[in-house]
Amino acid sequence: EAGVAQSPRYKIIEKRQSVAFWCNPISGHATLYWYQQILGQGPKLLIQFQNNGVVDDSQLPKDRFSAERLKGVDSTLKIQPAKLEDSAVYLCASSTTFRWIEQYFGPGTRLTVT
């Protein structure tokens, strides 16, 4: 079974530029999560989708971050414009339902904002 796929794996941009990350969850997983993991900290949930609907985006900085999951499968997370403090690893995870025990994480995208 293929795991959660993410691209790109690494991205370096200057502040005020835009960037987009892509995630393809495990086939059949209805729930998709985007996390931000700053160096030395645990992952922090940014947004959670159930199929193509948003379940929880209360921790997403909506003035600069946006995410979509148009067909209920893959998803994109965008930052526009980026700030220095956005430097982090962005992890995508999926599960069969938001109540299921295990979330499966992708390899992440390491973003460096200079």
Query: Toward other proteins, which CB reaches closer, 28 or 42?
Result: 42
DSSP code string of 26-64:
-TT--EEEEEEE-TTS--EEEEEEETTEEEE-TTS-TTT
Query: Toward other proteins, which CB reaches closer, 17 or 56?
Result: 56
Return residues touching other proteins (CB under 8 A). 4, 40-45, 48, 55-56, 58, 91, 98-99, 101-108
Query: Toward other proteins, which CB reaches closer, 48 or 75?
Result: 48
Contacts of 37 (CB under 8 A, 6+ apart): 43, 44, 88, 89, 90, 91, 108
Residue 89 Cβ, how far from other proteins at the closest point, in Å? Answer: 9
